[in-house]
Structure 1
């Protein structure tokens, strides 16, 4: 780490919030297209399968970036990696604006995913280090809360901003990305004010991707946590990829703002509960979340069969709380159970499983909607997710380090 003279304290305090804003801007772009998918379907004739393929491109970008470049800020510096993430996200926004057809949309989603993968681990580490400099001895709680708010809160903010702009402003398939582009460029310019918190090693170690491995003594815990993470991200993917279209087609609401709110409710509630949870071992957070998920899914399914937007949103809030607790519990179980020398690899393995949950089930969901009505597909999907959530909750509760 770099030496931290007293003059860096004001810069670190300001830098903390600049990094938080940059982190939020990148994450927000990652979900901004969610309420706009019905517009793409109308304009270009996309099917629900096409929409899920576009969403899967984002998940592939995140996953590849997490394992190939996300860890390089330890060698290259936090600020340099944050700038690379912002530039990549800005390139994504430009592609969204200039090429809204399917090839451009897939490329834009892939670039957005790469940027999210770059900023996720880098932003969390930078916030913790800047907070430690600006407020020494405070325990890092603020960094954890702000990091969670920037991460999941940013994912929840994007659909709401895009939905409001699509309803109230012109150029609905362009203006939301232009607004994000401006925010990303401003954040990139402000990074010049952020002090670097990492001393680059000399000589630089050889490049290798982030390893993902399960320590032998953690296999039972990891299996339980991995199922919880898979289910949590499968439900994130459900509402991010198809939530807006479901609100429009099944619940009969033409509002893109409400369509965006259907995604915001899930991510925003997940961010809130993760920020409030104090469960270092993850032993009660996971099981409690697993109990909340079936309740929320039951409400969502009821709203699908007996169309009610308030009921649908209430169910999403419950699901968001449940998946937020499930995922935070899964991470804590793995992180607290692994030895320090294996922790990064174990957590990376958990994220690999989580992003498979974000990709594979949603692709299957998109295909299923071609052969059955949305309420039927949602009921089956929700039933399977609820069963897996309950099983994961029981396993996490009984697993021992």
Structure 2
């Protein structure tokens, strides 16, 4: 029987499993390249098609949940995550099931990040939880989503390396975990009463997205959530040209440290959060700046231990930014626009996923270290924008706190 004060937990676990399904593919890239002969272009395309499903689902999943209810969209997200893994079971026969699975995984993740995050927030406040701390929903959603993004590739990597049937077992484990979660989530309450729901057409555009605080504080900082994380595990190892045969193992360590730090640091974001300023966001951005500086020094010195430290600090910046940006967003959003504005925030945050691709593209003409310097300057510009507006355009609730 579900504990009346822990109704948010199954919803949060469902978000973890969707994130698990989204990222498990990352640890299997080498398997498809080496054992099944998929080209680099094919594998890159599988990564890219995920974003093609993700962004529309982020922008539409929130408004759909505002109009139709959180629970319905959250359940569809888990179900689509199962279908995505089921499709990828047949990836060794042809690349097409992998493309289809990755597309569906993107759709599932976008729906969950917009709708399930809003569901967790509402289950973490009265009447569903009488004594929850302010901001508990944002902290829980960020922690459990980041946990899924970390657990997925770690579990898939371990199974692919040391268990039988590496091309199918990781997907089967994910499916086996998701199916009972669907049954549990069916028993959870819907938090959007029918009288509160507004027609979808009226909710496709959230007026709060034009709020000056969203544009001048949240938007400039949001891409550094996933931007810091992806630079930490995809760009920093590439700065080291002296790894030799240890590169694959080193990159795996960088992934684990970056995403692990992103999970472990998140409780700190809640402690430094201040409704009257952007202190938490500035802390997150400052951490990312420190990580980029460490990355530059590590690249110049070709020091692998310092580079791992840089990855860890960048991961901490990712975790802090994920929580602090979500706290700001949820304070700003009126209840009828919570899903839509959450979708806007995550869309901006996922822009950061493009950072390694952009750096790799320009690295054809410029040294990678020079491009990291450009990233550092852009991050400092974000710090300046947020600092100038830190105490401006506060929502009414923050002003009265």
Give the TM-score, by structure 2 length: 0.81
Which one of 145, 164, 180 corresponds to residue 186 of structure 1? 180
1:75–1:15 Cα change, 3 Å:
same
Which one of 58, 67, 77 corresponds to residue 66 of structure 1? 58
Corresponding residue number in structure 2 for 1:110: 103
The answer as to whether partners of 1:57 and 1:109 remain within 8 angstroms in 2 is: yes
DSSP-derived class of the 2:89 partner: helix
Cα distance in 2 for partners of 1:368, 1:47 equals 22
- Gaps of at least 5 residues in structure 1 are 1-8
After the TM superposition, which residues 353-368 of structure 1 pair with which residues of structure 2 at under 5 Å, given as runs? 353-359=348-354, 361-368=355-362
Corresponding residue number in structure 2 for 1:3: none
Moved more, 197-206 or 321-330: 197-206
- Gaps of at least 5 residues in structure 2 are 394-401
1:306–1:265 Cα change, 3 Å:
same
Cα distance in 1 for partners of 2:321, 2:25 equals 26
Deviations 1:201-221 (A, max 9, x none): 5997354663256766617x6
1:103–1:271 Cα change, 3 Å:
same
Q: Count residues in correspondence.
A: 386
1:168–1:245 Cα change, 3 Å:
farther
Corresponding residue number in structure 2 for 1:210: 204
Moved more, 197-206 or 124-133: 197-206
The answer as to whether partners of 2:67 and 2:200 remain within 8 angstroms in 1 is: no
Give the TM-score, by structure 1 length: 0.81
Shift of 1:166: 2.0
Corresponding residue number in structure 1 for 2:46: 54
After the TM superposition, which residues 124-135 of structure 1 pair with which residues of structure 2 at under 5 Å, given as runs? 124-132=117-125, 133=127, 135=129
After the TM superposition, which residues 2-401 of structure 1 pair with which residues of structure 2 at under 5 Å, given as runs? 10-13=2-5, 15-46=7-38, 50-100=42-92, 101-132=94-125, 133=127, 135-201=129-195, 205-207=199-201, 210-211=204-205, 218=212, 222-238=215-231, 250=243, 252-253=245-246, 259-277=251-269, 278=271, 279-281=273-275, 283-303=278-298, 309-332=304-327, 348-359=343-354, 361-368=355-362, 371=364, 376-377=367-368, 379-399=369-389, 400-401=392-393
Cα distance in 2 for partners of 1:315, 1:86 equals 34
Corresponding residue number in structure 1 for 2:399: none
1:55–1:85 Cα change, 3 Å:
same
Shift of 1:305: 6.0
Shift of 1:289: 2.5
Shift of 1:138: 3.0
Deviations 1:102-131 (A, max 9, x none): 333222121111111111232223223334
1:178–1:255 Cα change, 3 Å:
farther
Shift of 1:391: 1.2
Deviations 1:9-42 (A, max 9, x none): 9554454322222111111111112222222222
Moved more, 153-162 or 334-343: 334-343
DSSP-derived class of the 1:262 partner: helix
Moved more, 101-110 or 306-315: 306-315
Cα distance in 2 for partners of 1:204, 1:350 equals 21
